[in-house]
Amino acid sequence: MLGGGIYTSDCVPTCASIFRNSVTSILGNPKYSTAPLFAPIHEIIASSRNIRAAVRRINWTCFAMNRYENCLRQCEYSKAKSVRLVGNRHWTVVCEAVKTPNFTDYAQCQQSHQGKVRSRCGLLQLPASISLKSFCRFELTYF
């Protein structure tokens, strides 16, 4: 449901596009096209000049995720809507965790170890749109 309560067939893709644009804006100009959108929290921690800036950007991402979920809830029922809502449940955990005092310690730990991880594990390059079967093939060849 967009623009004054009108149900549209492109409601879910429109919500997704708005969210993707928000995350891209928060990330700035990501070095790789789609990878940061899968796990923006890691990219945010890695690319922020300090932990305070990282936490602020993660909070912005949580705000964008909340808007995305609210947008999806306005769409008429579809499998696409259900899959996206279920697929975003991990954000509830992340966004609650960022409010705790220990999150800063976690972010500092992750930031200090990301260099090692990136040097040992190459970036998994994926097309912007991919079937689940193709994704599984990519993942198997990566590991």
Per-residue pLDDT of the chain (143 residues; tens, 9 = 90+): 444 444 567 999 999 999 888 888 887 765 544 545 556 788 888 888 899 999 999 999 999 999 999 999 999 999 989 988 888 888 888 899 999 989 999 888 888 887 777 777 766 677 767 787 887 777 777 66
DSSP 92-143: HHHHHHTTSTTHHHHHHHHHHHHHHHHHHS------SS--HHHHHHHHHHH-
Q: What's the pTM value of the predicted model, to 2 decimals?
A: 0.70
Beta bridge partners of 6: 2
Q: How far apart are the first and last CA of the chain?
A: 41
> So what's the pLDDT on residue 38?
58
pLDDT value for 5: 45
The label of the residue with tokens 């909070």 reads 59
Contact 65, 85 (CB under 8 A): no
Q: Where are the domains of the chain?
A: 11-142
